[in-house]
Amino acid sequence: MAMKRNVGNSIIKGFKDFWRSEELQDFTVKIGSSRFRCHRLLLAACSEFFRGLFRSGMKETELKCATLQEISSETFELILKTLYTGYCVLTSDTVIDVWRAAHQLQIHFLITECEGFAKETLSTTNYIEYYTIAKLFDSKEVLEIVWPLILKNAHSFLQTEFFNSEMDVSDVLKLIQNQDLKITSEDDVVHAILKWVECKPCEEEDSDKKHSGRKSIKTGHNSLKTSVKQPNKDMTVSLNDNRKKHLPELLSNTRTCLLSMKCLEMLSSHPLVRETKEATDIIF
């Protein structure tokens, strides 16, 4: 085992020395005005995207140059440093960008590092951001630890713009059905449901950018597309979704017997409730 470890360390040290001395570099990655000279062997060994590109036999591989879009030069430099040194130094300011880029470039060990960092640094200041990207990339381990924090902070979470514009109906249902939901009263749930139904979802174009994970990567004169793992289609909220149709189901999952008289009176006269027979039947 010691010998294997020494061999691995020697290989990493060799690549690190080549990188620092800028020797035997045979590929260039362009990001904006920045140029990164790299070794194709290392890129192919660590990144499924680059491996596929180099194996494709396309003209772009002969140009020995690729332009990456939607990855900042700072983020790619951090990734290169990780590949060449074997050390991944993540911070709260960099983890989201590195996580996204790792999915785009399909660097699996780096994805695992980002997930581990998220689990170790989860707090009330970042749990929504971590939930968003974990949902996007179907990171079950991160979702598993974020969800209890959402339940614990439900009173404030239900009032966030994220809840109103980004949560899909399946997650809203999952949230309000949970017995561990920490709220001051059932009225909070009803008000949150009405705001969610009334809220205009994020525009379809923005939703596509956030949820598809599709990036453009230019190589030479052409543009290639690479897609990260796609989330479930029903998690994408678009302008075509009519949230009103979900109101009866959402209201039926509230504990109407615990609603205040003021809340019941508000519901009985609310336009959204009155225009839907199923919703009206739940209240009366």
Q: Is residue 79 part of a domain?
A: yes
Q: Extract the tokens encoding 152.
A: 């614990």
Q: Is residue 219 part of a domain?
A: yes
More confident residue, 78 or 220: 78
More confident residue, 37 or 16: 37
Instruction: Please say if the pLDDT value at position 185 is more than 90.
Output: yes
Q: Is residue 78 part of a domain?
A: yes
What value does the mean pLDDT take over residues 69-93?
90
Q: Is residue 276 part of a domain?
A: no
Domains held by the chain: number: 1
Domain interval for residue 223? 25-139+213-233
The one-letter amino acid at 216: S
Q: Which of 28-37, 96-105, 199-208, 228-237 has the highest mean pLDDT?
A: 96-105
Instruction: Please say if the pLDDT value at position 276 is more than 90.
Output: no
β-bridge pairing 65-68 and 27-31? parallel
- Residue 27 burial (C-beta neighbours within 10 Å; 0-12, 13-18, 19+): buried
H or E element in which residue 274 lies: helix 271-274
Give the CATH number of the domain where residue 66 resides.
3.30.710.10
Q: Is residue 113 part of a domain?
A: yes
Position 12 scores a pLDDT of 63
Confidence class of residue 281 from pLDDT cuts 50, 70 and 90?
Answer: confident
Average pLDDT, the chain: 82
Instruction: Please say if the pLDDT value at position 71 is more than 80.
Output: yes
Confidence class of residue 275 from pLDDT cuts 50, 70 and 90?
Answer: confident
Q: Is residue 40 part of a domain?
A: yes
Q: Please report the sign of the dihedral spanned by the C-alpha atoms of residue 77, residue 78, residue 79, residue 81.
A: positive
Position 102 scores a pLDDT of 97
Query: pLDDT for 88-129, tens place per residue?
Result: 889 999 999 999 999 999 999 999 999 999 999 999 999 999
Instruction: Please say if the pLDDT value at position 212 is more than 80.
Output: no
Position 103 scores a pLDDT of 97
More confident residue, 12 or 237: 12
Q: Is residue 94 part of a domain?
A: yes
